[in-house]
Structure 1
Amino acid sequence: MGDSVVAVLTYRTWADGHADGHFRSGQAIVKRLVDDVEVESVTVVDPFRNWLRTLAPHPDLDGCFPPGVARRLTRPGRWSRGDPVGPDMLPAYRRLERRIRRTAPPGSVLVACHPVLAAVADPAAWRDVVYFGWDDWATEDDGLFAAAGGAIRWSYDEMARRDVNVITVSRTIADRIGAGRSTVVPNGVDVSQLDDDTPAPDWFRALEGPVALWVGSLERRVDTAALAACARELGREWTIVLVGPVADPGVVDELAPLDNVVVRGWHPRGEVLAMIRASRVCLLPHVRSPLTEAMSPLKLYEYLAAGRPTVSTDLPPVRGVSDRVLLVPPGGPYAPAVRAASEMPEPSAEELDAFRAEHDWSARYERFKTAVLSG
């Protein structure tokens, strides 16, 4: 009998990932699992949603699995409209695990992207139980997991007790879980998307002078004080551009009044990649917190794979990734590092190719696959 894997997504559905090219954490790895013809059977399970939403047609899903192999997408539903929180979370995910188990091929490996699902899964019913996580959800103070109460920390203790096979983007997360079995698979980049010929938007191309760019959700983990000080010190010669969905309007309120700061919302991925390529320097100004100390910044690899020097807050997961990253201590000045980064020579074609090969999602997937199937 060949390998069989059941991968249960969290946050975003397969349709969400299919719509944007599966470039995000978690989805990128699961997409490569689906495409791997050496794995005999793969079942992808969407995050469970209200039944009315699961019954709605999804035309974008047609043809999203490779033909000729055992591939299946399931979309479990629930009666409640919102995600289970607090005390309701454990029984809800126990019921979900039993439903998934009933239709899983015998001898399957369960890959759960939700920590509570990994913690409640019956280890005797699966060849192995794997938790695949890309943030320390126990430290999140907003978003889906913030309302979980103590369920996430409980799930960490339970995963350690049950010897769940843990795959995370940083050693810090595995250590906080206390995992006896763990593998670190940092975030990566889809090299095939980098040379998209979509032009940058007109407003971006109209900017004069060098641009320092941040790409990502505008939320509390962004160090707005550091960005504001950087903008004032750089002056009108530079433009700081922030592109991404606005999760916290306070970020916009603090930065928008500055003359040389441009805050824009969501843009199509091709335009985002074009802006990265056209920027002089890219930015990763995160506040230091338990959440950011454990992350693996997806945007960092995209910046560097596009050949852009990057100025980042000094955080453990950022250290040692590339000599083209200049680190700023939390609370330190960004402007001198931005100027220094702007004077870096362009990487050679050989250097860029080597970085891309090392950090492409395909290379990340091989390490993930080994951990899942031989764990």
Structure 2
Amino acid sequence: MIVYFGGSAYEGVTGTDRQLADRLSAMVPVLYVDPPVSVTTPLLHPHLADSVRGAALRRRSPALWRLCPRVLPGAYRPGLHHTTNALVRRAARRAARRMAAELDERVSAVVVAAGADLLDAVPGARTLYYATDDLVAGAELLGLPPRRLAAARERMLARADEVAVVSPLLRELFRAHGRDPALVPNGCAPEAYAGIDTAPWPADVPRFDRPAAGFAGHINARIDLGLLEAVAAAGHPLVLVGPHDPGYQPARFRALTALPDVHWTGRKGFGEMPSYLSTIQVGLTPYRTDAFNRASFPIKTLDYLAAGRAVVSTDLPATEWLRGFSGGADLVRSEATVDGFVRAVEAELAVERTPKLTARRREFAARHDWGQRARALARLLDIDPVPARQEEPAS
């Protein structure tokens, strides 16, 4: 059995941790531990109310349980964070004992993909520190003290049995800290887009008289609004799918979404993505090229390809890593300037999306599916996964 400490809530955005936990649970039972919440969380963050309501421990599937630890208000304030971590460890240990007794299993591994050092939650288990972001570089965005995040990272790098990272830049960073981590990038779910060609057109997106570009994801400080504005200013329809952080340049975002050919849908579920991505010709990964983003691995890039769409991204190490695979260089466009980004979008909008080209994009994405990523983590944990061919980039 695996105890997996996620960096995001299981019921939240269907991101790295949930995708991996779901697939790991096809191999062994998994206890997924959410970031902790206090009784004030639903009041301060209404969009989280549904995900934290009800029992702290819930069974999500035959082999996957989700634990939402309850902690004191002000959980991450200086000093209180030690109490928070202790409460999370205790809650996870109790839930794991309950699961182990019910399943007649033992906890063989602990995965920490969060910023707190929780490796010792289950004594005697094999431990894996899985860094899915450079949290120290993103401390300001996260609203957490960088020194605390750096100290937790150093402790986990020193104590974890295995270390894995999501991006090439994080691998370089951790090598400089004395560990040689495994590279386990983000993946995609090609099966989710199998029916995209027959997906219904969403009611809240108009039909365009020319090909559209689009963005799917959280619109926050990671995103370069200037790139989206430039695409819209060039006269191309633009579809924005996902929530907007109200604190991120609200006036500028309102001006963008007020343009006649810009359509913002707000938050949508993962199951709705085929319909929304069917409305666009080109998917955009317009990340700012700061230290936080350069260490990231945007999931959306592979999702666009899995949906058979073209991709234009800012110049990120993860993008170059994908372009290093056979066939990747002409399927993933990478640009470092605003003008270059817009020109690349315009070039891809002019390309006819033939069945052959769509199949090439989907086949490339399928070589990077979440199943392969989960099997890579399983091998690090000495769990025997289903054998699968693991391809490496050409460069």
Tell me if structure 2 keeps the 8 A contact 1:11–1:47: yes
User: Residue 292 of structure 1: CA displacement?
Assistant: 0.9
Partner of 1:372: 381
User: Residue 240 of structure 1: CA displacement?
Assistant: 1.6
Tell me if structure 2 keeps the 8 A contact 1:170–1:185: yes
Residues 371 and 204 (structure 1 numbering): CA distance in 2 closer, same or farther, change over 3 Å?
A: same
Equivalent AA in structure 1 for residue 223 of structure 2:
V
1:48 aligned to 36, 44, 49, which one? 36
| Cα-to-partner distance string for 1:223-257 (whole Å, 9 max, x where unaligned) | 1122223322x22xx21222210112355134234
CA distance in structure 2 between the aligned counterparts of 1:214 and 1:352, rounded to whole angstroms: 17
| Cα-to-partner distance string for 1:132-176 (whole Å, 9 max, x where unaligned) | 232211122555x42244211111222223245222211322433
CA distance in structure 2 between the aligned counterparts of 1:90 and 1:174, rounded to whole angstroms: 28
What TM-score comes out, normalization by structure 2 length?
0.78
Equivalent AA in structure 2 for residue 228 of structure 1:
E
Any idea what SS the aligned residue of 1:217 has? coil
2:131 aligned to 133, 143, 160, which one? 133
Tell whether 2:146 aligns with 1:153: no
CA distance in structure 2 between the aligned counterparts of 1:368 and 1:170, rounded to whole angstroms: 14
Partner of 1:76: 69
User: Residue 271 of structure 1: CA displacement?
Assistant: 3.6
Any idea what SS the aligned residue of 1:370 has? helix
Tell whether 2:333 aligns with 1:341: no
2:16 aligned to 16, 25, 34, which one? 25
CA distance in structure 2 between the aligned counterparts of 1:361 and 1:283, rounded to whole angstroms: 21
Q: Which moved more, 1:313-322 or 1:91-100?
A: 91-100
* Unaligned stretches of 5+ residues in structure 2: 43-50, 101-105, 323-327, 385-395
User: Residue 202 of structure 1: CA displacement?
Assistant: 2.5
Any idea what SS the aligned residue of 1:364 has? helix
Tell me if structure 2 keeps the 8 A contact 1:86–1:147: no
2:80 aligned to 80, 85, 88, which one? 88
Tell me if structure 2 keeps the 8 A contact 1:293–1:316: yes
Residues 309 and 7 (structure 1 numbering): CA distance in 2 closer, same or farther, change over 3 Å?
A: same
User: Residue 276 of structure 1: CA displacement?
Assistant: 1.4
User: Residue 317 of structure 1: CA displacement?
Assistant: 0.6
Identity %: 24
Equivalent AA in structure 1 for residue 132 of structure 2:
W
CA distance in structure 2 between the aligned counterparts of 1:83 and 1:330, rounded to whole angstroms: 41
Tell me if structure 1 keeps the 8 A contact 2:230–2:338: no
1:35 aligned to 7, 15, 26, which one? 26
Residues 354 and 60 (structure 1 numbering): CA distance in 2 closer, same or farther, change over 3 Å?
A: farther
Partner of 1:97: 89
CA distance in structure 1 between the aligned counterparts of 2:347 and 2:265, rounded to whole angstroms: 26
Tell whether 2:191 aligns with 1:189: no
| Cα-to-partner distance string for 1:302-331 (whole Å, 9 max, x where unaligned) | 101111111111111111422212211144
CA distance in structure 1 between the aligned counterparts of 2:139 and 2:341, rounded to whole angstroms: 26
Any idea what SS the aligned residue of 1:50 has? coil
Tell me if structure 2 keeps the 8 A contact 1:166–1:183: yes
What TM-score comes out, normalization by structure 1 length?
0.82
2:173 aligned to 176, 190, 205, which one? 176
Count of matched residue pairs: 352
Any idea what SS the aligned residue of 1:48 has? coil
Equivalent AA in structure 1 for residue 335 of structure 2:
V
Residues 114 and 333 (structure 1 numbering): CA distance in 2 closer, same or farther, change over 3 Å?
A: same
1:351 aligned to 360, 382, 387, which one? 360
User: Residue 35 of structure 1: CA displacement?
Assistant: 2.1
CA distance in structure 2 between the aligned counterparts of 1:332 and 1:86, rounded to whole angstroms: 45
1:329 aligned to 315, 333, 336, which one? 336
Q: Which moved more, 1:312-321 or 1:297-306?
A: 312-321
Tell me if structure 2 keeps the 8 A contact 1:199–1:270: no
User: Residue 5 of structure 1: CA displacement?
Assistant: 1.8
* Unaligned stretches of 5+ residues in structure 1: none
Partner of 1:218: 219
Counting only pairs closer than 5 Å after superposition, residues 135-284 of structure 1 correspond to structure 2 as 135-141=133-139, 145-177=142-174, 178=177, 180-196=179-195, 197-232=198-233, 234-235=234-235, 238-247=236-245, 248=248, 249-284=250-285
Partner of 2:320: 319
Partner of 1:302: 303
Q: Which moved more, 1:290-299 or 1:86-95?
A: 86-95
CA distance in structure 1 between the aligned counterparts of 2:149 and 2:133, rounded to whole angstroms: 12
